[in-house]
Amino acid sequence: MSAERKAELINAAEELFNEKGFENTSVDDIIKRVGVAKGLFYYYFSSKEDLIDILTQRMLNEIESSVVAVLEMKNLSATDRFIGLLKSQKDVCLRSEIVIKYFSVSRNKSLHLELERLAHEILVPAFEEIIKQGIEEGTFDTKYPFETSHMLNMMIQSAMYNMRNDPRIEVIERTLEVVQYMTEKLLGMDAGTFQAYNTFIRTAYPDLDIILSKKKKM
């Protein structure tokens, strides 16, 4: 029962952080959502900041699991696996947007080291495996799959961070164009052949196509 209560507090905190924001969520809000005494909260956590660390670790675990799941889909083409890999990261990050925001300023060195481990031991090797598959299939053309994997990973993370922190339509549209262009160049693909990648990022912004179409009509 104690483990269940702890999990309930963590889940309630995540819901409230997403609903109200981290600063506007108090410990009282969290215990009220669960229906427990404040003493129980402090039995498990020293502060609400502890919850951000826990939620961040959970997010990293979910990303790792989703990447492994995509890599097990050996029957898919390299392009489909590449898109699947990106989508799996996007889905987790969208659910954990408030966590990502505070993780960027977190002083928890162990979590930052865990993110580095995830990138170097999981994400980059995943990209490399898929790129090598694409080379064998004749879809991708690069002499440097390992280095390309590093560059793609850094570019994708930078693009998502850029769009979250500067959500102006012109910035998002420009970022989408640049990322698609650079991805095709890095993978040796013809211009426009990786439109699905552009579509993937647009799914993170459900109203983007509507907004862009209205803007073009103005």
**CA-based angle 48:51:55, to the nearest 5?**
155
pLDDT digits (tens, 9 = 90+) for 142-162: 999 999 999 988 887 777 667
Q: Is 187 exposed, middle or buried (0-12, 13-18, 19+ CB in 10 A)?
A: buried
pTM above 0.75, yes or no: no
Strands (E), the chain: none
Mean per-residue pLDDT, 41-70 = 87
Q: Who wins on pLDDT, 137 or 20?
A: 137
Q: How confident is the model at residue 197 (pLDDT cuts 50, 70, 90)?
A: low
User: What's the Cα-to-Cα distance from 179 to each of 9, 169, 171, rounded to whole Å?
Assistant: 39, 15, 12
For the chain, what percent of residues have pLDDT higher than 70?
74
Which of 43-47, 66-70, 95-99, 153-157 shows the lowest per-residue confidence on average (mean pLDDT)? 95-99
Residue ranges of domains in the chain, CATH in brackets: 1-46 (1.10.10.60), 55-217 (1.10.357)
Q: Is 198 exposed, middle or buried (0-12, 13-18, 19+ CB in 10 A)?
A: middle
DSSP one-letter code for 105? T
Mean pLDDT over each residue of the chain, to the nearest integer: 79
Q: Is residue 173 predicted with pLDDT exceeding 70? A: yes
